[in-house]
Chains A and B, each alone.
Chain A
Amino acid sequence: MSEPNASATRTLTIGAAIREALAEEMRRDERVFIMGEDVAQFGGVFGATKGLFEEFGPKRIFDTPISEMFIVGGGVGAALTGMRPVVELQFADFLFNAADEIVSKMGKWRYMHGGRLTVPMVVRMPAGAMGGVGPEHSQCPEAMLLQAPGVYIVIPSTPRDAKGLLKSSIRDDNPVCFFEHKGMYQVSGDVPSGEFTIPLGVADVKRAGSDVSVICWGRMVHVVLKAAAEAAKQGIDTEVVDLRCLRPLDKDAILATVRKTGRLVICHEAHRTGGAGAEIAALVAEEALDALAAPIRRVCGPDAPIPQSQHLERLWLPGTKDVLTALQEIVK
């Protein structure tokens, strides 16, 4: 694994970065193939696989029937027997349609069978609230997988991270659920021009600060960075730590930022109760309670379904104001 050389970069969207990562890994390793609903000629309902069919053809990228259990379970069978599948669940919410295949087959098959087999596969999962697709197609269900030992959980927030983390996920011999926020495919950013990967399980400090830490991931990283810029005008120096992965979890980075600032806000789009923030808060309580100058705060999606109405969806989402309020209150 290698961190990118910062020198030569170009601007890409997250969607384009994902396409590049897929194409490069498919060129590099002929065992890598893609299957999922509408991923081939159509290019994916969010366009993430556009153009790959033209380059790689129907043996490397193909559509499946609407059969989520097969998409994951069939991927596991292929991974066990020498392939490296990258399968797409059209919406991350379909984790529940293929829950046993993800939790108990993909995550446990190697373990149950004595570590004698490997399941090198990636499940790409477009997640998050965007465009009024409603309660069943808008969730960020990553915390469900905290109870699924064996499954890595990767959640990029920038084009650079999306590309580097996806390439690492494809090369890793452990199974990975890779969450892509549906509202971020068009987000642009600098991506190194040359070959690079980003190791799994290493958090990234997206903004250094000394007064308060915000631990976040996915789209909320951008919301938090905006709030941090606002807070800076008011003299609050915020450190923003993008976890990038929930498993492997960069525990050292969590404890380091908490020990540095003594104040912690955790921010995620997923529902507050039982979200991954609870686990991080518990970890900090167990191992760094002495470092805290104030109670931990959470800024999360509310404990209600995400409404279909776009008007209500906007009101549902945690925003910059919510984060800013938490920052102002925690430093008081």
Chain B
Amino acid sequence: MLMRSRPSAFSLIAVLLSGILLLFVVAPLIRLVLATPAGDMVGSLRDQELWQSIALTLRAAGIATLISTVFGVPLAYLLARGRFVGHAFVQGLVDLPIMVPHSAAGIALLTIIGRHSLLQKVARPVGLEFVGEEAGIIVAMAFVSLPFLVGAAREGFAAVPERLEKVARSLGASPARVFFTIALPMAWRAVLAGMVLMWGRGISEFGAVIIIAYHPMTTPILVFQRFNDYGLSYSRTAAVALIVVCIIGFTALRFIARPPRREAV
């Protein structure tokens, strides 16, 4: 047991500042929930448009995350292990979507998935439309939230000692076997944490999505539209519903990806 001494002025100030920050995060959310009459919330349960948009939002962000995982995890592994030429440059490219304003990202995406783009022409025969469709929403969500997945997965792979992989190679394992039996099993929590982050970031995306698809409406756009057209109280129930659904989902996933409890050696 640590000796309890009088807390220093520094730790008091640090606690105070942290408290203010946490309050800043939590207060608007709590106020929002408290300010929404229970009757409105019960009524929103029958709001077909709202639930469809929530389902769309969760699904699109989920698909964006799964697709990005297939491409992003190998990239994260290369970046973690990489001593290749242009390593820092590639790292910078991956983080680019964080810096680009999301409405601008949406405009940029339109140039490759717009109605007359090459990609759209290739995709049309198989019945895939981007603009004003769920596929476009998925693309927009993937673009803006990909750095969170790659970043978290890269950290996870970087924490796996390279020496373990060397031993595995010398024991006869191919690079693919090393990845699937050593690197991934040791880094899966970080990958999953990255997926959760990416999913959450995708759900909340507004700027890039609204440029590519105003309809069908994702929940952030629905909240905006209702606020614009009908005002605060009408948009509030949609906002609360999305927040509650997200908190439940993230808590469950965080629980799955929690670090193992440390055991005494």
* A and B pair up: no
